[in-house]
Amino acid sequence: MSTQHIEKTAAGAWEGFKGGLWRDSVDVRDFIQQNYTPYLGDSSFLAGPTERTTAVWKKITDRFPEERAKGVYDVAHDIPSTITAHAPGWIDRDRDLIVGLQTDAPLKRAIMPYGGWRMVAGALETYGYPVSAELEKVFTEYRKTHNAGVFDAYTPQIRAARKAGIVTGLPDAYGRGRIIGDYRRVALYGVDRLIEAKLAEKSELDRLPSDPALLEETIREREELAEQVRALGELKQMAAAYGYDISGPAGTGREAIQWLYFAYLAAVKEQNGAAMSLGRTSTFVDVYLQRDLDSGLLTEEQAQELVDDFIIKLRIVRFLRTPEYDELFSGDPTWVTESIGGIGEDGRPLVTRSSFRYLQTLYNLGPAPEPNMTVFWSPGLPQGFKEFCAQVSIDTSSVQYESDELMRPRFGDDTAIACCVSAMTVGKQMQFFGARVNLAKTLLYAVNGGRDEKSGAQVGPESGPITSEVLDFDEVMARFDQQMDWLAATYVHALNVIHFMHDKYAYERIEMALHDRAVRRTMACGIAGLSVAADSLSAIKYARVSPVRDETGLVTDYLIEGEYPAYGNNDDRADELAVWLVEEFMKKVRKHPTYRNAEHTQSVLTITSNVVYGKKTGNTPDGRRAGEPFSPGANPMNGRDSHGYVASALSVAKLPYQDAEDGISLTNTVTPDALGRTPEERIRNLAGVLDGYMASNGFHMNVNVLNRDTLLDAMEHPENYPQLTIRVSGYAVNFVRLTREQQLDVLNRTFHGAL
């Protein structure tokens, strides 16, 4: 398409929009700032579900029992997924308003062998599907995969740490994810304009002088840009198969949602990353819907219906996973995270009517874990929006909250969350996801001189075990420091290998096509077992801890005399140890060079893998027994935060965001009665807790408003709770999709009966 034709098409699609920098260059943020309408009112304008919406959603929910019973509903087992690999599919061809599925039928999963053939074959065998001998030959003999490349380059030290579970959950056997394409660009500009921009970026590289220091990087970028252009062309082909020409910009609200969704759909057809997040779309979409409402093209009911249909499509994104993956990330999460609300850099709230509409889907369609609804909270948000958010949380336990006040100064006001708690500027930043290391186990290595407490193998640096009969805090800290040095070096080396190979063998073509060329990269490290390690150090410092040794001298247990302050009760004696752990490990990680000069970041997050990490970790000096789950994320250890909801949250708020910019996850469960006696009081109190937590530098809060009896009944009668949703570490999950072991872990967490 010629530049002249692109400009003519854009002129019609952009009619009524205020101009700005966005017209001359790809700049979605500027478009939003010039054209969005803040909404300061309440939820009274919202519309319920239409008969059409209810009928379409029922076609999906009727399939859920079979999917839950079998583990998967269906699999396209013989077609490697690409943007254009599968024929078009619909839920209801006559009723779908927003169209497009990952395969040719709803809930039918695709295979994605570029990440690793072994995982595809294992998942197919698990669910009883045939494994194609032809595809196996292709992906084991002719076409190398990410997984194969990683294990070719791993060192023996990395392999040993991985096997022991001190470095664990690494994205070496699944897609890394945590990359958010700016899917809005397709709606605003059309694909042809984006191809033109990418070709211009490639042309800039073609003109660079031959610099030996930049030679490899320049060649790689040229190839990546060529792949990005190719992927954009395939995106057009895929949309055309559904009868849409997305070469030019969207002209209506329905088209804006459809174009945006096609872009996201291309990403989830091509990649099965651990988090395939959506970005920050509600305020963007609202510009188009508001224009259509103002011109009489839409009613409020029709606007809500479009949003409902979009959300239905996002709810049914599925990936084929192995049982090992499901242990780490239980409940079939996809992390289609949508970031809502926040405050602009000019002080205007970024809340629109569509911010409400997205949350309203939790009523119109019922509670659900996906998309992962994430509200950017600020005390300065409009009161009507704050109260509606609190109401939705009380009714559905489906929303997480993140501090706009901490993110905006660092990432700007066009920031979105990838996965759970990872902030990034949309279209200008991506991360190399790094899972996490096990700090609790590292402390045990300090006591045992680098030997693993479960296997007895020498995994960490050999320093000789502590031989005293009572653990001395200073001696333990010195040895802990040595083990953390080794762990940080091993960890960053592993991540460099992983992301080198992912770029080489499983590059995210369409997602990166929807980024600027000069993208900011972060190396997203993480820590697990924070509360176990902090409480263990507290016990050693404030109580009397005696190691128990086996016949080989390996410390396998600990006897505790006296009491110690536990992290999670707003007691600085314990909380400062948790703060020190976060700061110290971040310092050590920063010492090591990273692939593509990525900036070091760190998260305190576990997903549901706190159960797996607990299994891999022996008895700890805090009194936790071998195999018992860790607490999730940055949470205090289950049951030890005995001073109420607020004290627990204030302890977590002390953790320094500047040393954990990949996010700090807090998951709290409070009973309805604890929030207040009346619905109005509960709404007011929950909004007040969120205001206070964010004002105290808290970063993230999952809010569950539940009684324990509800979960117990759901365990016994899952058929009665098909959409019961709870927040876990950084995401939401259908409770009945968790394993029994993970359900019990949720039940064992603190249910705060008082603020």
| Residues noted as catalytic | 419-420
CA 172 to centroid of chain Cα atoms: 17
**Number of C-beta neighbours around residue 286 at 10 A:** 30
Report which residue type is found at 3.
T
CA 363/CA 366 separation, integer angstroms: 5
CA 635/CA 641 separation, integer angstroms: 9
List, as one string, the DSSP characters of 133-188.
HHHHHIIIIIS--HHHHHHHH--HHHHHHHHHTSEES-TTSSB-------THHHHH
Could you tell me if 430 and 515 are in contact, meaning their C-beta atoms sit under 8 angstroms apart?
yes
List, as one string, the DSSP characters of 328-343.
HSTT------EEEE-B
Nearest Cα to 271, choosing from 513, 61, 604, 516?
513
Nearest Cα to 571, choosing from 535, 517, 532, 616?
535
Could you tell me if 520 and 529 are in contact, meaning their C-beta atoms sit under 8 angstroms apart?
no
483 Cβ neighbours under 8 A, 6+ residues apart: 442, 443, 445, 446, 450, 460, 461
Tokens 């207040």 — which residue?
Answer: 676
CA distances from 354 to 32, 40, 189, 223, 360 (A): 13, 12, 21, 39, 9
CA 747/CA 706 separation, integer angstroms: 11
| Angle, helices 740-748/708-716, rounded to nearest 10 degrees | 170
CA 704/CA 707 separation, integer angstroms: 9
CA 201/CA 209 separation, integer angstroms: 15
H helical segments located in 506-567: 509-513, 530-542
Element (DSSP H or E) covering residue 726: strand 725-728
CA 547/CA 666 separation, integer angstroms: 31
Nearest Cα to 292, choosing from 356, 301, 247, 95?
301
CA distances from 531 to 110, 534, 538, 641, 743 (A): 38, 5, 10, 11, 20
| Strand, coil or helix: 546 | strand
CA 558/CA 454 separation, integer angstroms: 14
CA 258/CA 246 separation, integer angstroms: 9
| Strand, coil or helix: 397 | coil
286 Cβ neighbours under 8 A, 6+ residues apart: 36, 37, 352, 353, 354, 355
- Side-chain half-sphere CA neighbours of 234 within 13 A: 21
- Pairing label, strands 667-670, 700-705: parallel
Tokens 């790809």 — which residue?
Answer: 26
Nearest Cα to 667, choosing from 696, 706, 628, 695?
706
